[in-house]
Chains A and B, each alone.
Chain A
C-alpha cells in the first residue's frame, strides 16, 4: 500500500528548541492531518488542514498544507518534555474514498 515519506524518522532535541518535520507524497491530497501518539495509546489529532497553502496553529504547534498539495509541514516551538512521542502525518487522496494514507512517523525525544 501507498505510504507517505515522513522525515526525520527520529530526533533528539533540547528543551526549548524548535522542531520541524515534514511529509511528502508523489500524489496530490485534499486533506492533511497531523497526529501525536504516546506509547500504548491511540493517535490524537493535533491539526487538520483542508486547503492548499493553509497555515494553522494549535498552541505551540503550527502546520502548513503545501501549495503543491503533495506535502505538509509541522513545527513545534519551544519544545517541552511532554512533547515526547511519535508524530504521524496522514493525507487523504483525491480518489473519492474515505481513506487516509499514513506516514511512518517521527519519533521525538526531548532532553531536559
Chain B
C-alpha cells in the first residue's frame, strides 16, 4: 500500500548526541515536510523540501538538519545543538499541483535519556 513510513517509532537520545529520524514515502510525492509537535500544541514546521536536492527552513529549524538526495526519502537529524529535542516528530508529503492535501506518517517520539 502507498504511504509514508517513519522509523523508529520511539527514539532516545543521550546528551551531546546527534540522532536521525527516517521518513520514506512511496506516493511519488514531490514535496516533503518535517513537523514538531509538543503536548497540547499544534504542528510547527521544521524543514520542507519541494524537490530533490533542495530544502528550506521552516519556523523552528535551529538545531535540526535535513537532506533530500532521493525523492522518496527525507531524513531529519536532531543535532546536539537542539537543547530541547523531546517531542513528537511528524513527516508529511504532498503531491505538487492544484488541490492536493498533505498526508502524514505515524510519527517518531524522541526522548532524552
B99 contact set on A, CB distance < 8 A:
31, 48, 50
Residues on B lying within 8 angstroms of A by beta carbon are 4, 6, 31, 35, 40-45, 48, 50, 58-60, 88, 90, 94, 96, 98-107, 109
Contacts of B58 in A (CB 8 A): 1
Of the residues B42, B90, B102, contact of A3 by C-beta under 8 Å? B42
Instruction: Determine the chain A residues whose CB is within 8 A of the CB of B88 once the complex forms.
Output: 40
| B106 & A102 in contact (Cβ 8 Å cutoff) | no
Q: List 8 extra interface pairs beyond A31-B101, A100-B102, CB under 8 A.
A: A33-B102, A42-B6, A43-B43, A45-B101, A48-B101, A50-B98, A98-B31, A98-B94
| A99 neighbours in B (Cβ, 8 Å) | 45, 48
0/1 interface trace, chain A 68-105, chain B, CB 8 Å (1 if under): 00000000000000000000101000000111101111
Least Cβ distance of B36 to chain A in Å?
Answer: 11
A90 and B101 CA atoms in complex are apart in Å by 10
Q: Complex Cα distance A16/B21, Å?
A: 41
Count A-side interface residues using an 8 Å CB cutoff: 25
- Taking a contact as CB atoms under 8 Å apart, the answer to whether B107 and A40 are in contact is yes
**Interfacial chain B residues near A31, Cβ < 8 Å:** 99, 101
* A67 contacts chain B at the CB level, 8 A cutoff: no
Query: Does A44 count as interface, using CB distance less than 8 angstroms?
Result: yes
A44, A48, A104: the one within 8 Å of B41 (CB): A104
Establish whether residues B104 and A102, one from each chain, have CB atoms under 8 Å apart when the complex forms: no
Instruction: Give Cα distance in the complex from A105 to B90, angstroms.
Output: 15
Contact indicator B42/A42 (Cβ below 8 Å): no
Asked whether B107 lies within 8 Å of A102 as measured between CB atoms, the reply is no
Cβ of B104 and Cβ of A1 under 8 Å apart?
A: no
Indicate if the CB atoms of A42 and B102 lie closer than 8 Å.
Answer: no
29 contacting pairs across A/B (C-beta < 8 A):
A1-B45, A1-B58, A1-B60, A31-B99, A40-B107, A40-B109, A41-B107, A42-B4, A42-B6, A42-B104, A42-B106, A42-B107, A43-B104, A44-B104, A45-B102, A45-B103, A48-B99, A48-B101, A50-B98, A50-B99, A88-B43, A98-B48, A98-B94, A98-B96, A98-B100, A99-B45, A104-B41, A105-B41, A105-B42
